[in-house]
Amino acid sequence: MNSFADREISSRIFFTLAITSIWAVLPVASVFLIFFLIYKMDERSYNIPYLLFLVSLSFGLIAYTAVSVDRGGEPTDITRYAAQFRTLAEIHTLKEFIFSAVLTDGGIYVVFQLTCLLLAKTFPTNPQVLPLFWVAFEYFFLQMAIYELSIYRKPWEKNTFLILAITLLFGTSLFTIQVELLKQSSATALAAYAIFRYMNGKKNNGWIFLISLLIHSSVLIFLPILLFGKKQFINRYYLLILGGAFCLSLIDINKAISLIPVAGLAERASFYADIEGWTINKINYALTFLYTLMLLLVLYDSRRKNKDNTFDRLMFNTIIVSYSVLIAQFHSVHNFVRYTYLHSPFYIVTFFSVFTGNMTKLSRLYIAICFILVLIFLNISYTWTYLNSTYTNSFMDNSLTRLFTSNVYVFLNYKAVN
């Protein structure tokens, strides 16, 4: 028995060393190899969080090469993060740090600022480590959130996980946006991880959610899922809740909040209400349409589940609340555009509910294939449009050949000037 256990441990160690070596040589191309090996190999042969960590680092390395392209438009946020990094690198006292944090973000994004300070002090001349760390961070917790979803009320099924992970990474998650909205996307990924752990009945989710809140306060809109996810009134009055969300979508929530006489809150809401340059575009409408279509399928399927007593209240409530908080932002253009881009894990929850629903296996397969293909097409179309716009970053000079053939050393020696 011990001999068998020893061989299993040795086999896992050998596999870990082998896949790490391959990843170091071809970090981007190996993403597809890792998913293929997860599919082909016995799950006892590998450690899934470690493999997802390698995948996340691959996306982080691509972000490491991000350069704001000057085509006559405004510089991208990567230049602002680089400037902030250089400011933090020159800080020598706690007083200077507090002043910088308050000046930059009002002092509320403590975890983000402290992490950036640590990176700046460790690598004071290399601001590229900032997108490397945070993009790897957000992709890791996005994937871990999907892993939690794949074990929801049943043993882990790698086929289900792979379908969800591929849909997330190459469909619902827009890489260029993940890089551009660094703080908010990192916070959303960690908040989603906390919420999906909560769905699995695990502990310490409140603390994890609090950390995400101290990365970026926008995740506050997901708090109702943690507070009311298990409440019966959600699934009982879901039509009223959806109706209320659609009513709220007719007003600018930021302008409404700006009328609340709370120090700091009114000013920040007023700032976002008056911000210019944000418009709802085709990708926002397309994602919202697909999300709404998936919701309608969930509502249809829930009626059938009620009849045979297989209704899942927690899953249903999570879908209803997450959809409602997004659609309520529709008239608050800045909010809606950002949340549409970063609602990725909650699109996946809705897709997961349909994919594992009571419809026939053929119907579920047909819906899944159509959903995934449309999302991948939208992702590629948006990325192409972004890379050819006046407001854009380039990644490894936008060379697919270099991205797929470069090793870790080449990536880390790429000099991005922002």
Per-residue pLDDT reduced to its tens digit, 249-284:
888 877 776 666 555 555 565 556 556 667 888 999
H helices present in 200-281, as ranges: 205-213, 223-228, 232-236, 238-248, 253-257, 265-274
Q: How far is CA 385 from the centre of its chain?
A: 21
What confidence tier does 334 reach under pLDDT thresholds 50, 70, 90?
A: confident
Dist. CA 190–CA 145, nearest whole Å: 8
**Residue whose entry in the numeric block shows the structure tokens 């002090």:** 121
Which of 240-254, 318-332, 403-417 bottoms out in mean pLDDT, i.e. has the lowest? 240-254
Residue 309's pLDDT band, with cuts at 50, 70 and 90, is very low
pLDDT in tens, 33-62: 999 999 998 887 888 999 999 999 999 999
pLDDT value for 252 = 81
Parallel/antiparallel/unpaired status of strands 66-70 and 391-395: antiparallel
Q: With bands split at pLDDT 50, 70 and 90, how would you rate the model's confidence at 310?
A: very low
Dist. CA 206–CA 263, nearest whole Å: 26
Per-residue pLDDT tens over the stretch 135-149: 999 999 999 999 999
Is residue 81 within 8 A of residue 127, CB to CB? The reply is: yes
Query: What backbone phi and psi angles, to 5 degrees, belong to 329?
Result: -90, 0
CA atoms of 33 and 364, how far apart (whole Å): 27
φ/ψ of residue 80, rounded to 5:
-70, -40
Alpha-helical regions (H) of 106-237: 110-122, 129-150, 158-167, 175-180, 182-199, 205-213, 223-228, 232-236
Contact 353, 26 (CB under 8 A): no
Mean pLDDT for 105-113 is 77
Task: Compute the distance between CA of residue 346 and CA of residue 242 in angstroms, rounded to an integer.
Answer: 16
Fill in the amino acid letter for 383: T
Paired strand residues for 66: 395
The CA distance from 282 to 84, in Å, is 32
CB atoms within 10 A of CB 363: 13
User: How far, in whole angstroms, is CA 175 from its chain's centroid?
Assistant: 10
How many CB atoms neighbour CB 272 within 10 A?
Answer: 19
Residue 73 pLDDT > 70, yes or no? yes
How far apart (Å, rounded) are the C-alpha atoms in residues 336 and 364? 29
**pLDDT of 102 higher than 80:** no
pLDDT band for 373, please (50, 70, 90 cuts). Answer: very high
Residue-level pLDDT at 106: 56
pLDDT digits (tens, 9 = 90+) for 3-24: 656 677 778 888 899 999 999 9
pLDDT higher than threshold 70 for residue 225:
yes
d(CA 196, CA 153): 11
Structure confidence at residue 178 (pLDDT):
94
SS3 of residue 67 by DSSP: strand
* Percentage of the chain lying above the pLDDT 90 cut: 60
Mean pLDDT across the chain, nearest whole number? 87
What angle (nearest 5°) sits at the alpha carbon of residue 252, between those of residues 249 and 254? 125
* Rounded Cα–Cα distance for residues 236 and 302 (Å): 12
Q: Is the pLDDT of residue 350 over 60?
A: yes
**Position 368 confidence tier, pLDDT thresholds 50, 70, 90:** confident
Residue percentage of the chain with pLDDT more than 70: 89
What pLDDT is recorded for position 42?
82
pLDDT at 66: 95
